[in-house]
Structure 1
Amino acid sequence: MTAQHPAPLPAPADRDPGARVAPAIATALMSVLGPAAVLFGGLSATATDSCGPDDCPAALDASLTRISGLIHYGGPLSAAALLAAWLLPAKRRWSATRAWTAGLALLPPATVLYLVWTLPVP
């Protein structure tokens, strides 16, 4: 007598086969952009060395304030968005939301790097 094995259940029709693509790409990019943003954003305060803390132009001070705010507040928000992209259900219904949250997770470090590269000259 042979043992009968139940047939495997079919995969749900609404399961998204590419559910891990956007979070994986965002994680790979974040592993490069995140440390670079923290490094260059932290070093951007040395842009005031030539003009002193009181004689720097207002545009430079405004850019440095934005960089500091993006590092302090954008870092945790970026991590939360990346975590949300990974934790969203792997259903087709959530594919657009997953892609948007993965993309939004990259916005703070990319903005920090843009602001560092476009710092006004003191």
Structure 2
Amino acid sequence: MTTQHIAAQPPARADVAERDSRAWIAPLVATILLAFLGPAALLFGGLSAMATDSCGPDDCSPALNTQLSVIYGTLTFGTLPTLAAWITAWALPWQRRWSAWRTGAAITTLLPPLFVLLLVFTLPAP
């Protein structure tokens, strides 16, 4: 009769057991979309001043001037929060308990460029 020796298995660690194998999906989707939306927002936001060509910057409607100011403010001050949310989406631990925060950070990454594009495409009449 032979005796079988069963190799002792180390106990499963709790953090390995809850590791999220799909944690990379939300940051990757946000990165790919940001690669397209970011430059588009910069291009169209930067060119949006041409909406004042027919009336000049001093004679345009206050609504147009306000919207252009919001576009430029978002392009200027929205870059740092976008970068912080993008880094956060990748840097959070890849565990299931952080998946909602990771997805939220990935969505937050896309908000400033989407907001700029929304404002550009809804510019009021001069």
Give TM-score scaled by structure 2 length. 0.87
For the pair 1:36 / 2:40, whether they are aligned, the reply is yes
Aligned length: 117
The answer to whether the Cα contact below 8 Å between 1:37 and 1:113 also exists between their aligned partners in 2 is yes
**Greater Rg, structure 1 or structure 2?**
2
Partner of 2:78, secondary structure, is helix
The answer to whether the Cα contact below 8 Å between 1:75 and 1:109 also exists between their aligned partners in 2 is no
For the pair 1:82 / 2:86, whether they are aligned, the reply is yes
Q: CA deviation at 1:56?
A: 0.5
Q: CA deviation at 1:26?
A: 0.2
Give TM-score scaled by structure 1 length. 0.90
Partner of 1:54, secondary structure, is helix
Q: CA deviation at 1:10?
A: 5.7
Deviations 1:67-121 (A, max 9, x none): 0011001122111101110000001111000000000100000000000000001
Partner of 2:41, secondary structure, is helix
Q: CA deviation at 1:22?
A: 0.2
5+ residue gaps, structure 2: 1-7
Moved more, 81-90 or 9-18: 9-18
- Structure 1 runs, 4 residues or longer, greater than 2 Å off: 6-11
2:30 alignment counterpart: 26
1:97 alignment counterpart: 101
Partner of 2:22, secondary structure, is coil
Partner of 1:90, secondary structure, is coil
Alpha-carbon distance change, 8 to 117 in structure 1, aligned in 2, over 3 angstroms: farther
1:110 alignment counterpart: 114
5+ residue gaps, structure 1: 1-5
Counterpart CA distance in 2 for 1:83 and 1:77 is 10
